Structure 1
């Protein structure tokens, strides 16, 4: 049967997605192949369709029990005979399924990588002609991947011992060039058989939000109340806190983390899949292989440990191709949680160093002013144009020249011997009286106190920006030291300029019509409530309202001095004037 006909008949799609035909053709020609496709790019079809064409069994290695069950249910629903074997089954159930495989009654058998290590299972494979071995979530093979699993590493050795040599297809959504190289090597896939369809997701709008996380989250969910979405947190404790916070505001919400019973987790997952609840608050244990296509937003309430995890989790939004949002609520202290996870892991020292580097890249993503989609693509070794949709592309603040300020920072790093981290550099620049500074005689440097009219926080943010922009390079390890990058040297020599987006500093003249109108509204509200006008909003807040002219409640929340209760009390009245 023609492949397109089979695709339409069994899977209901009219045409193949990018990369699918190429991967399927290589499999049918009995070649080993690696497919790197974005989440929602149709990886499963790449082995499920050939499984129908090939004579023997397709063995699928899959890391999660819930993922296997979902996929097998979906295949059986389509009339494709499939089964899974994992620890949730009894011995008689396992034997029944193995018998079906031996008798050729099923086309696809899903197993966890650990299953291949069992002697009994290896014996069984001698009686079943396996024609295709599909390795799902193949990045788990690489110790440089974001979800390395030792059982996947053994997989490569076990496959070599098979009596029969099936074709191998490895699939992943998130592989950096280093990880891809690792997969090719371990699974003996020729370099020319790597099919990468590009990492860009045309329908995803990325955003980084740095203010008042809880307030922003509640307002976002209020504005998008009929949409399905996932809110990720790093710890079970934070999942519980957010769940109770949302529940208290009558939001239709469920929770999912490793500390819950299997039954409760399954029920909540099902409620989310069947649209019985709108929002799922979860740790990253939730979502792998979740085939819910109408997830409109994924919000990370805490920073994940690396960009691969972030992109994979964010990619669960908009699998149906409709416009969706991926929002990172960023707070610097959340990085410490991830740092703690790395410290506590029992991995080798070079693995830990690599994880610290990845965490730093995640932090730089939050501080970068380049297109966020492009930043992610660059991380995966790909370049492309600006997306025009992310918060950085839509940021229309004025671009100002900060070359002199950048030179002050870079000069200070140089004079301190490029042997210190950002907090001490910031203290020297702001003229801090810290004991360490006098101990090292840094108070005698010409750069000491050079930016004393800046706050420590402002200088640290500038250092983060210069690092994210590639003018400073952090060393490896838990406490990175900053060194000057080649582009930073060009800045010091006056051969390159540095710019940054910043709200224009405008003093608002008294007769500014909009300012006066907002002030009049403030007076009116103050009289009604019998309180001083500044209690409602300060002049500084009114000035910022005039400068930024927010048009939505979410934009209104980004103004300093606006919290949830003030938004609820006064937002509508002020927005009415601003919209005019």
Structure 2
């Protein structure tokens, strides 16, 4: 292994050894080779380009999609003693001139730039006059039209590749299925032999998916375990985002809203509060989160169905970047399925794209309805695999299955006999034989399917209908007030009557046994907790004085290590993972003083 790389790993980042494929990637790029790096969030992708950029002669150029992400990365690097900066449109003229002076003088190890900025002819011309150590394209899935977060500005990077053909180039992402990977390699002209696929598993994250029953009550129950912790709640619409944020504020949470319809200054202020806070909940649409570096996000909840497995994987992946136990919850119902289907059908995308989006939605519904280990289904989508994980809801609370063929026939027949125009609640009432004026008005208390479903309760019938929608046996006319009709696959089922296993609905979370806490506290021995909290307070105090996020001082994981090791000298503290030389010089005395108070 390259000795300079190992030295930087220890002195700058505070680690004695690389993890997983990091060493191979770093050595590969230092030697001047290109690389495609697919590594799960929290797996250490950044080190794979940061260390080669420091070791190789010249300045490393990093393409990043968001100004906030660039600022976050630059702040963390500077804290570690690395000379880094970001070139973006927010810079004043004098700041831009000063930055270019630093760039020309060779004072920078790493320069972060947005793809739109990099595409400008004047910027490209100036960069061509410099020696670049490498070009790293972060969040590279944005380049693919098949990816879940395609950004046209990333396609302009093709020209950059051609212009700097002699500079090693890297493409890095945590989220890319096979078509997306192939497109990234083709566009950036990276050989398949230069691809490093590190797998997708995030074993510290617990996955749970529930059918919507009472979304606010379900979310409230979920959040009880996270007092004093940061997390993200994803919503589908701007209005729902604001409503949930306001509701959480009323419950006493420090909750903020974030969506594309907000004023830019308000969005940025909320993002800064989230990054700088240690007990802040961000309620957001998908406009928030790509590349968020905050390592202590302890939970991610979806109160609406995300757009695809890729989106779900990336959004849940914002939890537990520090490797500590973290939790996820996704709620969904038949309305979500119908709404997502409507988005696809009403889009102006070409038919090929629509077919791909339908397949992605089907895969996500398969994950939601599976009785298998969630992690196995999730990883298999990306071509990865694992044994049953024991850390998802289907492993810890296996769902009960039943022969649902007769129930499906009854439901489909009831939809047919009521005219294929009524919504879910009405169909369930007819199946249960409910006596109400509306059913009597339409004469549906006289049809053969009235009352034929009394073997199941209302909640079970809703679960059955939801699964039949997921199987595309039933279509939902969202524009027509949610009326249900029988899809071609449903008519085939009625004609052929094959076996069909369905899930019984899980009991509501609040009625189950106590769920073990899955937060920072679960990773700390009781004997170390008081010291950990004291170290956390000191970190917050220092971060506020510097106006930086607490995690750029030290991650929670490093504080846990400090609380366990209880170093009494600079030399002992230097041996704690995550403590590099610059941070030891800057913060060692303050943290050693806190530790000394605990004997």
Equivalent of residue 361 in structure 1, options 344, 348, 363: 363
**CA pair 360-502 structure 1, distance change in 2 beyond 3 A:** closer
> Contact 2:472 / 2:487 at 8 angstroms: preserved in 1?
no
Aligned residues of 2:235 and 2:285 also touching (Cα < 8 A)? yes
Paired position in structure 2 for 1:330: 332
Which of the numbers 198, 214, 217 marks the counterpart of 2:216? Answer: 214
Between the aligned partners of 1:279 and 1:337, the Cα distance in structure 2 is 26
C-alpha deviation, 1:353, in angstroms = 3.1
Q: Distance in 2 between matches of 1:480 and 1:179?
A: 34
How far apart, in 1, do the equivalents of 2:12 and 2:210 lie? Answer: 43
* Corresponding residue SS for 2:208: strand
Determine if contact 1:295/1:317 at 8 Å carries over to the other structure: yes
**Aligned in 2, Cα 1:492/1:336: closer, same or farther, shift over 3 Å?**
closer
Report the counterpart of residue 186 of structure 1 in structure 2.
187
Residue range with higher mean Cα deviation, 165-174 or 288-297: 288-297
Against the structure 1 CA distance between its residues 363 and 132, is the aligned structure 2 distance closer, same or farther, given a 3 Å change threshold? same
Cα deviation 1:419-438 (Å, max 9, x = unaligned): xxxxxx9533665231799x
Partner of 1:176: 177
Separation in 1, partners of 2:474, 2:337: 18
Counterpart of 1:552 in structure 2 is 514
In angstroms, what is the RMSD of aligned CA positions?
A: 3.5
Aligned partner of 1:104 among 103, 106, 109 = 106
Q: Sort the Cα spacing of 1:226 and 1:460 in 2 relative to 1 into closer, same or farther, 3 A.
A: closer
Q: Does residue 201 of the first structure (1) align with residue 186 of the second (2)?
A: no
Structure 1 residue 228 corresponds to structure 2 residue 227: no
Offset of 1:269 from its aligned partner?
A: 2.2
Are 1:231 and 1:298, in contact at CA under 8 Å, matched by a contact in 2? yes
2:123 corresponds to: 121
| Number of positions where the alignment pairs a residue of Structure 1 with one of Structure 2 | 476
Which ranges of structure 2 fall in alignment gaps of 5 or more residues? 423-447, 480-484, 518-599
Shift of 1:220: 2.5
Q: Could you list the per-position Cα deviations for residues 204-228 of structure 1 after superposition, in whole angstroms to 9, with x for gaps in the alignment?
A: 1100122211011123223422222
Q: Separation in 2 of the partners of 1:263 and 1:328?
A: 30
Question: Aligned ranges for residues 52-131 of structure 1 at < 5 Å?
Answer: 52-131=54-133
Residue 406 of structure 1 corresponds to 405
Calculate the TM-score normalised by the size of structure 2.
0.71
- The verdict on how the C-alpha distance between 1:435 and 1:195 changes in structure 2, with shifts beyond 3 A counting, is closer
Q: Secondary structure of 1:392's partner? A: helix
> What's the TM-score once normalised by structure 1's chain length?
0.74
Distance between the aligned counterparts of 1:63 and 1:128, measured in 2?
Answer: 23
Change (3 A) 1:275 1:453: same
1:186, distance to aligned residue in structure 2 (A): 1.2
Q: Which residue of 1 aligns with 2:19?
A: 17
Tell me which residue corresponds to 1:535.
none
Mapping 1:28-67, distance limit 5 Å: 28-67=30-69
CA 1:122–1:275: 2 relative to 1, 3 Å: closer
- Tell me the secondary structure at the aligned position of residue 67 of structure 1: helix
Distance in 1 separating the partners of 2:69 and 2:180:
23
Measure, in 1, the Cα distance between the counterparts of 2:21 and 2:473.
38
Question: What is the aligned partner in structure 2 of residue 422 from structure 1?
Answer: none
Distance 2:349 2:295 in 1: 36
Greater displacement, 49-58 / 222-231: 222-231
- Helix, strand or coil at the partner of 2:45: coil
Report the Cα distance in structure 2 between the residues aligned to 1:281 and 1:136, rounded to whole angstroms. 25
* C-alpha displacement of 1:257: 2.1
- Summarize the Cα distance change of 1:23–1:463 in structure 2 as closer, same or farther, 3 Å threshold: farther
Cα distance in 2 for residues equivalent to 1:103 and 1:275: 37
Aligned mates of 1:323, 1:6 — CA distance in 2: 29
CA shift in 2, pair 1:253/1:54, >3 Å? same
- What is the SS of the residue equivalent to 1:124? helix
Task: Return closer, same or farther for 1:170/1:480 CA change in 2, 3 Å cut-off.
Answer: farther
Equivalent pair of 1:431/1:450 in contact (CA under 8 Å): no
Cα distance, 1:191 vs structure 2 = 1.2
Q: Which one is further off, 247-256 or 93-102?
A: 93-102
Q: Give secondary structure in 1 for the equivalent of 2:334.
A: coil
For structure 1, which segment, 451-460 or 17-26, has the greater mean C-alpha deviation from structure 2 after superposition? 451-460
Instruction: Name the structure 2 match of 1:259.
Output: 261
Task: Tell me whether 1:432 sits opposite 2:417 in the alignment.
Answer: yes
Q: 1:212/1:63 Cα in 2 relative to 1: closer, same or farther (>3 Å)?
A: same
Distance in 1 (alpha carbons) for counterparts of 2:265 and 2:11: 35
CA distance in 2, matches of 1:53, 1:138: 23
Q: In 1, distance between residues paired with 2:86 and 2:316?
A: 28
Tell whether the 8 Å contact from 1:36 to 1:196 is kept in structure 2 after alignment.
yes
Instruction: Tell me the alpha carbon deviations over residues 168-227 of structure 1, each in whole angstroms, 9 at most, x when there is no partner.
Output: 110000100111111111111111221111111111110012221101112322342222
Distance 1:473 1:256, change over 3 A: closer
